[in-house]
Chains A and B, each alone.
Chain A
Amino acid sequence: MTTHSILQKPAISRAGGNRRWNRFKKIAWPASVTAFATVLLGLFLMPFLYMVFTSLKTQTQVATPGAPIWPAKYPTYVYTGENKNTYTLQVNKSGFPVNQVINMSDYAGKPLELYRVPLPNGTTKKLALIQGYQKSSIFIDPAKPAGDPIVWTGYYESLPRPWVLAPQWSNYVEMWNDVNYPRVLWNTFFYAFMTTIGVLVSCIPVAYGFSRFRFPGRDVLFVVLLSVIFLPSTVTIIPTFTFFTKIGWVGSWLPLIVPSFFANAYDTFLLRQYFMTLPRELDEAAMIDGANPLQVLWSVIIPQSYPVIVAVTVFHVVWAWNDYFNPLIYLSSRMDLQPISVALARFNGLFGSRPELIQAGSLLTLLFPLILFVLAQRFFVQGIVITGVEK
């Protein structure tokens, strides 16, 4: 059927159309797919930009409707005092005109606020305020510091003000001190480091046991191990917490670190899947040379498994960095031991009205995992592919 219709085609008239279609397929189609992906990615990652911009804003800017989205502040103009004359100006302070004496040298060296003032000739000019009242205000022109003061009728606070780019780096300093970042960072590193050691020294031998030894019941146990990945942790948390309370471990690192030394199912599975792909010939050769199983693990399996061990390590470090629930329940009474995720959430509860500080704190929280990701990208991807393909 298909062949038949191709043969029926009026060959010449379609040729031009096909060529155009082919050119479209070669250039326009990849370009539109890539453009679409770029827009989608931009939307997906947009909160990062929001975080950076907001974290550099002043409290005033955050609370001002209509302020720019980038970090900015109201500029000021320092009057240099070229004009030393004294003026008597008629101004309308609060309903009726009065005479106001202005001695220009009083304003020399003072920072003045800038406003966008609409002038009688229809243009708008950036002017510096020297005296403002309810019904009229006195400005000088920063472009002509030696010129006469300008009286403008209207309430100066209704005028729009210009913004200039001004990142407020001190938000980071404030956040750094308020959450006691060095302490919190140390706690997080300590938690990640100790549990990573626990994971590596327990999961590697267990994965080796599941992948290299044949014994009755092994496959049943492996299915049990896998089903633990799907087991809701809710069903174990109450007795576990009660047990740790009764033995006095709550309020210390122990309930967070000790369980990691008993081989979690996920990392064991990942390692076991990788070990299964390693050829057995090298193990057997080592065993013929008289190596015991521990020596085989140490000198044959581990040296070949460097990619998966790095993958497990980076996954686990990111997991520990992210962990909120366990430190929350076990360290709720010990603020000095809490890691960063708990500290950040606590800070949000206290300072919910300071988005610029929350965003600065979020950046400080995600910076380390982000750097780790940039450095170890391929290990993340590899680790997931090991678990993903074998399903």
Chain B
Amino acid sequence: MENLIRLPKTGSPETIRNMGPLARREFRNGLLFISPWIIGFLVFTLFPMLATLVFSFMNLRLTDNPLDPSKFVGLHNYAALLKDAQVWNIRPDSTPGSLWVTIRYGLIAIPVGILLPMGIALLVNNPALKGQNFFRSMFYMPYIVPFVASIFLWAGVLNPEFGWVNMTLLALGVPRSDLPGWINDINWVYPAYVLLGIWGIGNAMLTMLAGMQAVPTDLYDAAKVDGAGSFARFAYVTFPMISPVVFYNLILSVVALFQYFLVPLALNTGNAAGFPGGATMFYNLYLYRTFFVFQNMSYGSTLAWALFIIILIVTVALFATARYWVYYAGERQ
């Protein structure tokens, strides 16, 4: 975390005991100002996190009293989780497990979610582009469209019968029987979902653009003198310099991937959950339904902690790779 967001170095830590009256007053005032966050953190973050952990060792439904000690069942829920085909199943001939669904979607969504904003940031940072500011704000603009509206727009464009994408494919000579069914088609649903979410790239695009603009121009001049072409300048100057921003966006995308479920939830209000064929039963959707539909508080909590641990492992693994490809200018001098 310290690597990711560099903190300003402040004076040496003091203990409360050896403070002077001025420092003591500063301590009191500082705590007073940050107290809304401290209370909120305790009440809405730390306490619920621990409660989730406690619930996962119990057998509770929403209507039960969570303080009832007779409801403790030890590791029962975790044993059930390890055997749960709705989480783990990867056999291709049956309904895929929700974790496998999430990972399969992520294998398409994460590369697109990093490379597309990077490509567009490079494009709108290109000095040859006329009207840079116009393009920057227009590529960002769809980001502010509420996601419920944006998925209905893209689902409309991808409508198998009336959508413009399939009408274009038809006009290009694709036979009607070969047209993709997009969100209704088990083979096309992930690319379709990536398109439904494509208007969310604005934030990543602007952070990468800001990173590119912060690259000192003398680095490019030096690279040019050394005979570097435009690809070499990207690979040896631009990319290393923006790698912290890329890394930050990668972590955010991974955390978002494992929590992904609002799109199928909002899109399939009229269909069976996981439509088509369980392909959109993402891990978090399974969790949501376990709690909100089947009111199984304890198994939902178990799924939630398992999710937290999975995200933690993936994040730690990414941090371990960071030293090979993320470059912090302030660090090794």
Contact = CB atoms under 8 A, between A and B. Distances in A.
Given A206-B33, A263-B37, A391-B207, A358 B152 contact: yes
Interface in A64-83: 65, 69
Given A227-B1, A340-B146, A41 B139 contact: yes
Contact of A388 (B11, B37, B211, B267): B211
Contact of B153 (A217, A235, A346, A359): A359
With most chain A CB atoms within 10 A of its CB, the pick from B140, B208, B269 is B269
A366 interface: yes
B131 A370 contact: no
Contact of B162 (A237, A245, A348, A355): A355
B8 A389 contact: no
B153 A362 contact: yes
Interface string B110-128: 0000000000100110101
B266 A262 contact: no
A369 B262 contact: no
A349 B271 CA distance: 8
Interface in A353-388: 355, 358-359, 361-363, 365-366, 369-370, 372-373, 377, 380-381, 384-385, 387-388
Interface in A321-373: 321-322, 324-325, 328-329, 340-341, 344-346, 348-350, 352, 355, 358-359, 361-363, 365-366, 369-370, 372-373
Contacts of B161: 65
Contacts of B203: 384
With most chain B CB atoms within 10 A of its CB, the pick from A210, A236, A265 is A236
Contacts of A18: none
B266 A385 contact: no
B317 interface: no
B176 to A, nearest CB: 10
B157 A228 contact: no
Given A219-B10, A391-B244, A370 B49 contact: no
A15 B285 CA distance: 66
B281 interface: no
Contacts of A143: none
A90 interface: no
B284 A216 contact: no
Interface string A224-247: 111110111111111111110100
Given A48-B153, A235-B308, A259-B44, A34 B130 contact: yes
Contact of B10 (A214, A341, A358, A359): A214
B41 A224 contact: yes
A288 interface: no
B44 A359 contact: no
A257 interface: no
Given A41-B138, A352-B270, A391-B5, A50 B146 contact: no
A349 B269 contact: yes
Sorting the interface of chain A by its residue count into under 10, 10 to 19, 20 to 34 or 35 or more gives 35 or more
Contacts of B244: 391
Identify whether the interface residues of A are mostly helix, strand, loop, or mixed: helix
Given A381-B206, A384-B210, A390 B5 contact: yes
B36 A235 contact: no
B74 interface: no
Contacts of A389: 210-211, 214
Contact of B15 (A212, A216, A324): A216
A301 to B, nearest CB: 11
Interface residues of B, number: 108
Nearest to B34: A209
B27 interface: yes
A101 B138 CA distance: 64
Nearest to A25: B128
Interface string B143-170: 0111111101110110101111001000
A62 B162 contact: yes
A322 B146 contact: yes
Interface string A34-46: 1011001100111
Contacts of A348: 152, 266-267, 269-270
A346 to B, nearest CB: 7
B279 interface: no
Interface stretch (B91-99, B186-194, B296-304): B296-304
Interface stretch (B76-84, B101-109, B231-239, B252-260): B252-260
A136 interface: no
Interface in B2-53: 2, 4-5, 7-8, 10-11, 13-16, 23, 26-27, 29-34, 36-41, 43-45, 47-49, 51-52
B136 interface: yes
B315 interface: yes
B164 A370 contact: no
A263 B45 CA distance: 12
A345 B269 CA distance: 7
Contacts of A40: 120, 123
Contact of A232 (B27, B141, B245, B308): B308
A309 B192 CA distance: 37
A381 B140 contact: yes
A261 B44 CA distance: 11
A216 B167 CA distance: 64
A242 B162 contact: no
Contacts of B265: 328
Contacts of A370: 141, 144-145
A388 B245 contact: yes
B294 interface: no
B325 interface: no
8 contacts: A50-B153, A205-B34, A210-B34, A236-B49, A238-B297, A366-B146, A384-B206, A391-B211
| Top 6 A-B pairs, shortest CB-CB distance | A262-B40, A209-B33, A213-B30, A349-B269, A388-B207, A239-B51
Given A365-B149, A380-B144, 4 more contacts: A216-B27, A223-B1, A232-B259, A328-B265
